[in-house]
């Protein structure tokens, strides 16, 4: 080929490749933006092609079958864990996630033993103990803490959104909408998590559940007193009659005043709560980080005769401090 034509042909090929890449990027951004227009997780899942029944089962975690034959204590812990997953709005099956959390520490512990064996580091009871502790924290405790943090944040956001949702519901009633239509308005007007939760209640009603039972289930899933008062207000109004819009408007005002008092209490107890967070998270974070960066810092002293009793006593003192501080900062308003 003539060298005079080689450079123009190369430039044309580069230009075509850039145009193609830009077109693919623009299409991806457009599709992501169209999907992001869905205001909450339920609408996004329906927009991706899932049916309402499948979406309801995933969000309500009705398919998250717990292992059968568990002792009562473990079964209650598993139920609490499943509720935490629901509040964190995770759609992974409970059994699969529990299996990952149980298997991950064992896998990390096995890898550490293999590495210590091939690197020539002797294996002792102290080193096995501290390696097992590190594996449990990295593979089990830290993921659960992250999920719990997300669930707590969603729960607080739910409390903040609920008075606003009541205002939207009252405006819908005063505009002439029936109760079911006013609730359906919340599913498209409110963001997560409350928009998804009201959408789940509407889907339950669509598939034959009673409205009060659907809302009561929502209140029990989140364990919020404000929602329970809302359900009681609907039940009383349906049996005795009255202006539901006025009742819910008064309820919204009561909830806002209650939240105002709650925020004042949180402000007064902020120092204690921050101290509790730091004393709870910082030791685990420091231990895991230091072990990842410099394992010999712990492994070299693990053969000391006083290491095992001292380490066990340290864990006991940490647990005593954790439960004590948690009880001190658990304020009820």
What is the SS3 string spanning 118-140? HCCCCCCHHHHHHHHHHHHHHHH
Question: Which residue shows structure tokens 């669930």?
Answer: 151
Contact 84, 147 (CB under 8 A): yes
Record the tokens describing residue 14, joined without a space: 């580069």
The confidence score (pLDDT) of residue 1 equals 52
Closest by CA to 46, choosing from 31, 56, 61, is 56
Q: For the packed helices 307-329 and 270-293, what is the interaxial angle rounded to 10 degrees?
A: 150
Give backbone dihedrals phi and psi of 191, rounded to 5 degrees, phi first.
-80, 180
Rounded Cα distance, 30 and 54, in Å: 26
Give backbone dihedrals phi and psi of 332, rounded to 5 degrees, phi first.
-105, 130
Sign of CA dihedral 285, 286, 287, 292: positive
Helix, strand and coil in the chain, % to nearest 5: 80, 0, 20
Q: 135 burial class (0-12, 13-18, 19+ CB within 10 angstroms)?
A: buried
Rounded Cα distance, 48 and 43, in Å: 9
The confidence score (pLDDT) of residue 63 equals 47
* CA distances to 102, 261, 283, 320 from 327, in Å: 28, 20, 19, 11
Record the tokens describing residue 296, joined without a space: 């010999």
Q: DSSP letter for 138, please.
A: I
Contact 47, 33 (CB under 8 A): no
User: In degrees, to the nearest 5, what angle opens at C-alpha 308 toward C-alphas 305 and 314?
Assistant: 130
Rounded Cα distance, 176 and 182, in Å: 9
From first to last of its 333 residues, the chain has per-residue pLDDT tens of: 556 666 666 666 666 777 777 777 777 666 655 444 446 777 777 777 777 777 777 777 754 556 666 677 777 777 788 888 888 888 777 777 878 888 888 898 888 888 888 877 777 888 888 888 888 888 888 888 888 888 888 888 888 888 888 888 888 888 888 887 888 888 877 887 888 888 888 888 888 778 888 888 888 888 888 888 888 888 887 777 778 888 888 888 888 888 888 888 878 778 878 888 888 888 888 888 888 888 888 888 888 888 888 888 988 998 888 888 878 777 665
């Amino acid at each position: 080929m003539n060298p005079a034509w080689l450079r123009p042909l190369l430039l044309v090929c580069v230009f075509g490749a850039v145009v193609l890449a830009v077109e693919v990027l623009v299409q991806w951004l457009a599709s992501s933006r169209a999907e992001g227009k869905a205001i909450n997780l339920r609408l996004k899942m329906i927009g991706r092609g899932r049916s309402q029944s499948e979406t309801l089962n995933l969000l309500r975690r009705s398919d998250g079958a717990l292992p059968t034959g568990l002792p009562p204590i473990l079964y209650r812990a598993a139920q609490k864990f499943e509720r935490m997953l629901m509040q964190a709005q995770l759609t992974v099956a409970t059994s699969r996630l529990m299996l990952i959390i149980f298997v991950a520490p064992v896998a990390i512990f096995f890898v550490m033993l293999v590495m210590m064996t091939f690197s020539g580091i002797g294996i002792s009871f102290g080193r096995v103990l501290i390696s097992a502790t590190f594996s449990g924290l990295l593979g089990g405790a830290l993921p659960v803490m992250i999920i719990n943090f997300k669930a707590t944040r969603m729960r607080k956001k739910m409390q903040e959104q609920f008075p606003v949702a009541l205002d939207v519901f009252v405006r819908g009633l005063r505009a002439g909408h029936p109760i079911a239509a006013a609730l359906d308005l919340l599913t498209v007007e409110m963001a997560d998590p409350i928009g998804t939760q009201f959408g789940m209640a509407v889907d339950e009603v669509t598939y034959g559940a009673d409205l009060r039972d659907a809302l009561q289930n929502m209140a029990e899933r989140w364990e919020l007193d404000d929602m329970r008062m809302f359900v009681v207000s609907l039940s009383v109004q349906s049996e005795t009659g009255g202006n539901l819009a006025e009742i819910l408007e008064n309820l919204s005002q009561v909830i806002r005043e209650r939240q105002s008092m709650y925020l004042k209490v949180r402000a007064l107890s902020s120092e204690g709560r921050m101290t509790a967070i730091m004393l709870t998270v910082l030791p685990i974070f420091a231990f895991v980080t230091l072990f990842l960066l410099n394992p010999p810092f712990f492994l070299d002293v693990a053969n000391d005769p006083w290491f095992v009793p001292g380490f066990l006593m340290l864990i006991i003192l940490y647990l005593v401090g954790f439960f004590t501080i948690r009880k001190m900062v658990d304020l009820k308003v």
